[in-house]
Homo-oligomer: A and B are copies of this chain.
């Protein structure tokens, strides 16, 4: 499997590209290998890239004033990820993005993405659909965070994410669910007994 087959398949889900468009698009990408535990973005840095995960897993998290980590998303293979707020508004990053295992990404700079929108307007459609889905997902998460207990959110998490996330620690799952690792441990214990 060539190293950009996956991203082309991802795009083909929503738009159909001509050969030259494909070539042009690929010419705007950079590929990068990220070691396990290496960061591709740190808080307060500038956030120039939109990243596509070709293999591996990235984790995006927010660090609050008290120094607690809150996981915003796990980006598995075939996902797009960046600190969107900072990417779009060209402001210092609020999020940290780190590899939970060896990860290969394809990334496009903001400059090149803007160029792409001008040169191949079809991509406006692609990203319109992508953001539409992202918006829906976040809204569902807001609803679930408001209306479900921690134990129920944990069940949803297990259902949503495949075992693929083996590298992910309990601590990180807890920080995604909005609870402490200690309480997740209790939930898991109760669950195992039931």
Q: Which of A17-25, A37-45, A64-72, A104-112 contacts B (4 or more CB under 8 A)?
A: A64-72
**Which residues on the B side are within 8 Å of A136 (C-beta)?**
84-85, 88
- Structural contact, A146 and B85, CB atoms closer than 8 A: no
Contact partner of A134 (CB less than 8 A), chosen from B62, B121, B131, B145, is B131
- Kindly supply a per-residue 1/0 record for chain A positions 121-145, scoring 1 wherever the CB is within 8 Å of any chain B CB and 0 otherwise: 1001101100111111011111101
List B contacts of A133 (CB < 8 A): 88
Q: Chain A binding site: helix, strand, loop or mixed by DSSP?
A: helix
Chain A residues near B (Cβ < 8 Å): 62, 64, 68, 70, 72, 84-85, 88, 94, 117, 121, 124-125, 127-128, 131-136, 138-143, 145-147, 178
Give the nearest-CB partner of A141 in chain B: B142
Measured between beta carbons, the chain B residues less than 8 angstroms from A178 are 145-146
From B121, B127, B135, contact of A84 by CB (8 A)? B135
Residue of B84, B117, B124 touching A139 (CB-CB under 8 A): B84
A131 to B126 Cα, complex, angstroms: 12
Report 20 cross-chain contacts, Cβ distance below 8 Å, ordered by A residue: A64-B147, A68-B147, A70-B146, A70-B147, A72-B143, A85-B139, A85-B140, A88-B136, A117-B125, A124-B124, A124-B125, A127-B128, A131-B131, A131-B134, A138-B139, A138-B141, A141-B142, A142-B145, A145-B145, A145-B146
Residues of B within 8 A of A125 (CB): 117, 121, 124, 128
Per the bound structure, the CA–CA distance linking A21 and B138 in Å amounts to 32
Residues of B within 8 A of A85 (CB): 136, 139-140
Residues of B within 8 A of A62 (CB): 143, 146-147
* A70-B147, A84-B136 known, 13 other contacts, Cβ within 8 Å: A62-B146, A72-B142, A72-B143, A117-B125, A121-B125, A128-B128, A128-B131, A131-B134, A138-B139, A138-B141, A142-B142, A145-B145, A145-B178
